[in-house]
Amino acid sequence: MDFDYRRPARVAEAVAWLREDPEAKLLAGGQSLLAAINLRLSEPTMLIDLQALPELNGIRAQEGGLWIGAMCSHASVAASPLVRQLAPMLAQLAHGIGDQQIRQRGTLGGSIANADPAACWPAGVMALGGTVCTDRRQLPADEFFTGLFSTALEPDEVVLGVQFPCTQQAHYLKFEQPASRFAMTGVAVAQVGSVVRVAVTGLGSGIYRWQAAEQALQRRLAPEALLGCVLDAGIAMGDIHASAAFRAHLAAVLMRRAVQHILKSSKL
């Protein structure tokens, strides 16, 4: 396969190239894109490597929250003392992604732009109510994720990073698909101020906000509050790894354990 490889020095340059060639693709760590190219699921005519863009790098405390640049690798997030201090769930989530190689190359921006229905980052961004910042606008998580491998991004739009609120009251748990460590089902629960948000990944159709569980936990952040809270298996999809009913069951089990974990850590 023949394609043009370019490395922009500014975000505006990347945007201009995306406009110039509708078949161009942004390249982050290549952990999803290169596999798609190898399988001929994607045939870009130009690869625009985002590595050299300083605006897409860096982790910092900002506007009372935490900023993580789109090109930050999972490994750098997992190892960041600032992330561990301000939003420890994100370090824990990033540490559990794939294996060492995936974590070194895979990025926050690539993961959320790809919006794989079994990915971990969408759960973290959704549960914390993060804001995705692009070269032209700010998108709340609820507006950013639009479905299976689908987001609100325009074809020429570049994710710069995500702004997260800070909280200690959050936890992510997944039941791993043993070969890839993607989530067979994964649940992120977060309390930010008085608001509780719950996101479920791995159900098959994109990241899902479990509002019945949110309402139950809003009344009382305790596993007992979830008694009778059942995820409708109709929301999930079955495949060779797990049936829809098993995925829905896992969501409820993981949810209770995640809440238990939050309570236990807040007593320490």
Ligand X SMILES: Cc1cc2nc3c(=O)[nH]c(=O)nc-3n(C[C@H](O)[C@H](O)[C@H](O)COP(=O)(O)OP(=O)(O)OC[C@H]3O[C@@H](n4cnc5c(N)ncnc54)[C@H](O)[C@@H]3O)c2cc1C
CA atoms 9, 15, 20, 22: torsion sign: positive
Per-residue contact flags (x/-) with ligand X for residues 137 to 176, judged by CB under 6 A: ----------------x----xx-----------------
**Residue 114 engages ligand X in binding (rule: CB under 6 A):** yes
Pairing of the two strands 46-49 and 4-6: parallel
- Closest contact distance (angstroms) between CB of 134 and ligand X is 7
What secondary structure does DSSP assign to 180-191, as a single string?
T--EEEEEEEEE
102, 212, 233, 253: which one contacts ligand X (CB under 6 A)?
Answer: 102
- Least distance to ligand X, CB of residue 263, Å: 26
Name the minimum Å distance from CB 253 to ligand X: 19
**244 CB neighbour count, 10 Å cutoff:** 18
Q: Is 25 in the site for ligand X (CB under 6 A)?
A: yes
Which amino acid would we find at residue 105? R
- Shortest distance, position 167 Cβ to ligand X, whole Å: 20
Among 31, 92, 163, 167, binds ligand X (CB under 6 A): 31
> Are 221 and 191 within 8 A, CB to CB?
yes
Binding residue (CB under 6 A) for ligand X from 28, 75, 132, 190: 28
**Closer of 97 and 213 to ligand X (Cβ):** 97
Under DSSP, the state recorded for 260 is H
CB within 8 A of 247, min separation 6: which ones?
Answer: 184, 185, 202, 203, 204, 233, 236, 237, 238
Q: Does 111 bind ligand X (CB under 6 A)?
A: yes
DSSP code, position 223:
G
6, 84, 95, 181: residue in contact with ligand X (rule CB under 6 A): 181
Q: Residues 185 to 204: which contact ligand X by CB under 6 A?
A: none
Is residue 113 involved in binding ligand X (CB under 6 A)?
yes
Six-digit token string for 107: 């990025």
Paired residues of 187 in beta bridges: 173, 200
For ligand X, the nearest residue by Cβ is 110
Instruction: Provide the minimum distance between the beta carbon of 97 and ligand X in the complex, in angstroms, as a whole number.
Output: 4
CA R_g for the chain: 18
Which of 11, 15, 27, 216 contacts ligand X by CB under 6 A? 27
Which range, of 100-108, 192-200, 221-229, 230-238, touches ligand X by CB under 6 A?
100-108
Within its chain, how far is the Cα of 71 from the centroid? 13
Distance separating alpha carbons of residues 109 and 29, to the nearest angstrom: 10
**Backbone φ, ψ for residue 215 (5° rounding):** -65, -40
Which residues are near ligand X by CB under 6 A? 25-33, 35, 50, 56, 70, 74, 97-98, 102, 105-107, 109-111, 113-114, 119-121, 153, 158-159, 180-182
